Amino acid sequence: MSDATHYLSVAHVVGLYFEAMRLAGEQPAALVRPEALNSAVHRPRAAAYYGGATRTEQAVELAEGIAGAHPWVDGNKRCAFMSMVTFLARNGVLVPVPDAERYLKVASLLVELVAATGDERETRKQALVNELDGWASEAGGE
């Protein structure tokens, strides 16, 4: 794997949103907070630069940012999940496909993270990072 991290752009995330909605059999909703989406997409870079975040931590920052920003009327967590998985795949983490059980576990951890408050938020974030680190170690990554 290259040392360069491959970040998603806002356009990538918008495309993933449309794909997530298509896969769910739903019509895409309006993008109501484009500035919040832009900010969420840049969270992984900031986490790496200012906090030395690993790629899995950056992926979680991206997902948490998208889900928490609510840039669309509907489908934010679905887009967050797809963006997180795509970020990992673009950065050499072997994403288990089609492993519905593992996907469901990660999706559940993401939902728990978004719903958490206070100290519980960091605990939930770490649980999601740990699960994704399992994917990375299987792929020979971080």
Residue 1's pLDDT is what? 44
Closest CA to 66 of 114, 123, 115, 127: 114
Instruction: Write down the pLDDT at residue 3.
Output: 77
pLDDT at 97: 62
Q: Please, how many CA atoms are within 13 Å of residue 90, restricted to the half-sphere of its CB?
A: 16
Residues of the chain with pLDDT under 50: 1, 141-142
| Domains, the chain, with CATH or none | 10-138 (1.20.120.1870)
Take residue 8 and report the two structure tokens written for it. Answer: 């998603």
Judge whether 69 and 76 are in contact, CB under 8 Å. yes
